[in-house]
Amino acid sequence: MRLFVAVLPPVEALQDLADAVAPVRGLPGADRLRWTAVDAWHLTLAFLGEVPAERVPGLEAALAGVAEGHPAHTLRLAGGGRFGDRVLWAGVEGQDWALRRLAEAVHGAAAEVVGETDDFTFHPHLTLARAGSTRGRRRAEQRTAAGRLDALAQALEGHRGPEWEAAELHLMRSAQDGGAVRHTSLCSWPLARWEAGPP
């Protein structure tokens, strides 16, 4: 199974972001991107790739332990940015340090169960759209594509969504469904109810 671990923003936060993104999708260059469906929006904490079914129970137990040791925290979706010339994203504000600690713990716990994973790197974001492959592109074309993404990201700069509580950790499955990618929550765990302190 192709799995990842995520925090899922509430419907109200997603709708607010969708309203902010709607005019951005009409800007020049936006039609060249593959836009992620709203019902697939999430904050990825760790991408695990293909995980054998027999390891899933151990993974679930490890993630339950992580959830018990990390508090619920307040976030908001805000601003925008890009990764290179490929990805347009919405940013995260609030107690993002708590989200980072959660992601780091998830990464460590998952590595113990599923084996080697990439080095821990985490930039809190919600992926909005992706460009096509950059292979074979000349540098000038890559700069043009990056410039288009910059313009779209700047259009989101002033967006500040409502605050919401990140209160659950989700083990997600990613699967192809008729050409589209579907994300399904296999299991979730409540985060601890003690107060998140500063870093």
Which residue ranges form the domains of the chain, and what is each CATH number?
2-190 (3.90.1140.10)
pLDDT bracket for residue 134 (50, 70, 90): low
Mean per-residue pLDDT, 5-23: 97
What predicted TM-score, i.e. pTM, was given to this entire model? 0.88
Helix axes 11-24, 139-155, angle to 10 degrees: 120
How does the average pLDDT of the chain come out, rounded?
A: 90
Residue 56 has pLDDT above 90, yes or no: yes
The single residue of 70, 73, 107, 125 carrying the catalytic annotation is 125
**Residue at token pair 């460590």:** 108
Query: Would residue 73 show up in a list of annotated catalytic residues for this protein?
Result: no
The CA distance from 166 to 171, in Å, is 15
User: 64 in helix, strand or coil?
Assistant: helix
pLDDT of the residue at 48? 92
Per-residue model confidence as pLDDT tens digits over 99-129: 999 999 999 999 999 876 666 789 999 999 9
Mean per-residue pLDDT, 170-177: 90
Mean per-residue pLDDT, 43-59: 94
Query: Would residue 125 show up in a list of annotated catalytic residues for this protein?
Result: yes
**Residue at token pair 């332990």:** 65
Residue 163 has pLDDT above 60, yes or no: yes
pLDDT of the residue at 141? 57
Do residues 172 and 39 lie in contact, with contact meaning Cβ atoms separated by under 8 Å? no
pLDDT of the residue at 121? 85
Mean per-residue pLDDT, 148-157: 93
- Range in 86-90, 144-148, 152-156, 179-183 the model is least confident about: 144-148
Give the single-character DSSP code of 6.
E
